[in-house]
């Protein structure tokens, strides 16, 4: 659908609760497209935007994969969607949509490829086969994992973890958790260097734009303020894998440097991350549609999610935390990712639209970012994920991961 942005076209965006979804909606609206959002929550961030024509209430994938896909396909047909664009963890489910609607384009890779990269162990194999640097990784419960843990620090992570849920960093010689066949995990060698996150948009194996960034303020394990940085080695790593896979869609990585400063990807998110905010909003839809071959960066090199940063700043004041002055300075000087003078209500109404997530976070006693996508994340089989999947990450495992 290259270059044609007439008013007759409709895009269906498959999640509306996150700011990165708002960037996508605003970009398609600016390109002249009708924007429909499919979202399990009755109210959501994108629903407050004047860029969205209609919101469609969906069941959460956690309530049943087949029901979610069936009703998503119905929404595509009912609203005449010409393109489906997934946003976050629901992308693993949306990747199966072409099996129900073969003629509807989805801005994602086939489901098998998406799930291979989402899997914390299989991704390592894919990257290694492409000749790229990744840390040593073994299944929890294997002799190789036990030997690696005895010799140095390791990270234990569920194979489908997202937003740092269930991730633990263990000291050298610390006992590994007992392997649970019902909740498989991997053990990965800990890399001691700086950590970075990324977000890229690609078409047919070519990167159209990459952002490398790191968290500067956190809510639990998830960054709520970010800084864009230059890292040519990381960009080259990403471009090589995208080319090897012939990737089309969003793709993101968490990356770390080893003791010698060499970059490794520690896991892949075959979807967007908060790094999307560093692209110029008006470029996103044209890049997806093939009307642009490069994505430009915003001038701002620091961005924040205002309400999350406000909460963390208040908490640091109550705790008499020495980080309070830095948090306050960031809060007062950093641009919010959702603010737009022509579309102010998403930011102003967020305490109301985000209430379902805030309620669940309070009930589960985990940070906002760690519960925001719990009902749309991937899980094996058809059973609803257990409450244990919402367990917060340990303090030692806090990274620049962003929803």
Q: For the chain, give the mean pLDDT.
A: 90
pLDDT of 36: 98
For the cut 80, the answer to whether the pLDDT of residue 6 exceeds it is: no
How far apart are alpha carbons 83 and 290 in whole angstroms?
13
Which residue did the predictor score with more confidence, 391 or 243?
243
User: What is the per-residue pLDDT across 169-226, written as a single tens digit (0 to 9) for each?
Assistant: 999 999 999 999 888 999 999 999 999 999 999 999 999 999 999 998 887 668 889 9
In this structure, the number of other CB atoms found within 10 A of the CB of residue 31 comes to: 20
Which residue did the predictor score with more confidence, 395 or 198?
198
Q: Average pLDDT for residues 3-16, to the nearest whole number?
A: 78
Please, how many CA atoms are within 13 Å of residue 132, restricted to the half-sphere of its CB?
A: 26
Phi, psi of 138 (to 5 degrees): -140, 155
Q: Residue 403: which pLDDT band, with cuts at 50, 70 and 90?
A: low
How far apart are alpha carbons 350 and 18 in whole angstroms?
10
Q: Average pLDDT for residues 228-251, to the nearest whole number?
A: 98
Contact 376/89 with Cβ under 8 angstroms? yes
For the cut 80, the answer to whether the pLDDT of residue 141 exceeds it is: yes
User: C-alpha 398: how far from its chain's center?
Assistant: 16
How far apart are alpha carbons 162 and 284 in whole angstroms?
24
Q: Average pLDDT for residues 328-355, to the nearest whole number?
A: 94
The token duo for 36 is 């429909």
Q: Average pLDDT for residues 326-341, to the nearest whole number?
A: 92
- Residues facing 84 on adjacent strands: 12, 106
- Among 66-75, 176-185, 253-262, whose mean pLDDT is lowest? 176-185
pLDDT of 391: 40
DSSP string across 251-318: EEEEEEE-TTS-EEEEEEESS--GGGGGB-HHHHHHHHHTS-S--PBPS-SEEE-HHHHHHHHHHHHH
- Among 5-14, 182-191, 346-355, whose mean pLDDT is lowest? 5-14
For the cut 60, the answer to whether the pLDDT of residue 288 exceeds it is: yes
What percentage of the chain carries pLDDT values higher than 70? 92
pLDDT of 7: 56
For the cut 60, the answer to whether the pLDDT of residue 384 exceeds it is: no
- Residues facing 54 on adjacent strands: 36
Instruction: Indicate yes or no: pTM above 0.85.
Output: yes
Q: How many helices (H) and strands (E) does the chain have?
A: 14, 15
| Tokens 């009708």, residue located | 34
- The three-state DSSP-derived secondary structure of 61-110 is HHHCHHHHHHHHHHHHHHCCCCEEECCCCCHHHHCCHHHCCCCCCECCCC
For the cut 50, the answer to whether the pLDDT of residue 10 exceeds it is: yes
pLDDT of 15: 97
pLDDT of 54: 97
In this structure, the number of other CB atoms found within 10 A of the CB of residue 53 comes to: 15
- Among 63-72, 175-184, 265-274, 388-397, whose mean pLDDT is lowest? 388-397
DSSP string across 348-370: HTHHHHTHHHHHHHHHHT--HHH
Of 58, 127, 118, 60, the C-alpha closest to 92 is 118
Is the CA virtual torsion 24, 27, 29, 32 positive or negative?
Answer: negative
Q: Average pLDDT for residues 322-346, to the nearest whole number?
A: 93
In this structure, the number of other CB atoms found within 10 A of the CB of residue 367 comes to: 22
Q: Average pLDDT for residues 146-162, to the nearest whole number?
A: 94
The token duo for 272 is 């967007």
Phi, psi of 111 (to 5 degrees): -55, -40
Please, how many CA atoms are within 13 Å of residue 219, restricted to the half-sphere of its CB?
A: 27
Of 28, 35, 18, 27, the C-alpha closest to 377 is 18
How far apart are alpha carbons 311 and 293 in whole angstroms?
39
- Among 50-64, 96-110, 246-260, 371-385, whose mean pLDDT is lowest? 371-385
pLDDT of 398: 43
3-state secondary structure at position 398: coil
Q: What strands lie across the sheet with 206-219, from one edge to the other? A: 263-269, 249-257, 195-203, 206-219, 222-229, 302-304, 335-336
| Tokens 């110029």, residue located | 280
């Amino acid at each position: 659908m290259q270059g044609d942005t007439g008013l007759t076209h409709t895009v269906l965006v498959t999640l509306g609760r996150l700011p990165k979804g708002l960037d996508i909606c605003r970009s398609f609206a600016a390109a002249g497209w009708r924007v429909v959002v499919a979202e399990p929550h009755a109210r959501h961030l994108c629903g407050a935007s004047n860029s969205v024509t209609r919101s469609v209430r969906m069941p959460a994938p956690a309530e049943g994969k087949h029901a979610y896909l069936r009703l998503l396909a119905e929404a595509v047909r009912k609203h005449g969607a010409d393109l489906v664009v997934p946003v976050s963890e629901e992308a693993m489910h949306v990747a199966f949509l072409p099996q129900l609607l073969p003629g509807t384009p989805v801005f994602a890779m086939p489901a098998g490829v998406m799930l291979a990269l989402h899997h914390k162990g299989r991704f390592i194999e894919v990257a290694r086969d492409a000749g790229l640097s990744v840390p040593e990784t073994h299944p929890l419960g294997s002799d190789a994992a036990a030997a690696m843990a005895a010799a140095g620090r390791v990270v234990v992570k569920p194979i489908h973890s997202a937003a740092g849920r269930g991730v633990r960093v263990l000291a050298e010689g610390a006992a590994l958790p007992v392997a649970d066949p019902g909740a498989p995990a991997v053990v990965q060698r800990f890399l001691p260097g700086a950590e970075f996150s990324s977000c890229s948009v690609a078409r047919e194996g070519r990167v159209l734009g990459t952002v490398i960034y790191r968290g500067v303020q956190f809510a639990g394990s998830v960054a709520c303020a970010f800084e864009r940085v230059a890292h040519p080695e990381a960009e080259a790593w990403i471009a090589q894998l995208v080319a090897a896979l012939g990737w089309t869609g969003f793709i993101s990585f968490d990356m770390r440097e080893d003791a010698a400063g060499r970059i490794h990807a520690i896991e892949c998110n075959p979807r967007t991350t908060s790094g999307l905010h560093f692209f110029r909003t008006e470029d996103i839809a044209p890049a997806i549609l093939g009307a642009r071959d490069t994505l430009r960066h915003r001038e701002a090199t620091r961005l924040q999610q205002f309400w999350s940063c406000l909460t963390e700043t208040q908490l640091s004041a109550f705790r008499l935390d020495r980080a309070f002055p830095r948090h306050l300075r960031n809060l007062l000087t950093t641009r919010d990712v959702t603010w737009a003078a022509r579309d102010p209500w998403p930011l102003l109404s967020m305490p109301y639209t985000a209430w379902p997530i805030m309620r669940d976070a309070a009930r589960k006693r985990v940070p906002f970012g760690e519960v925001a996508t719990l009902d749309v994340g991937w899980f094996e089989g058809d059973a609803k994920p257990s409450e244990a999947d919402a367990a917060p990450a340990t303090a030692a495992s806090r990274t620049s991961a962003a929803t």
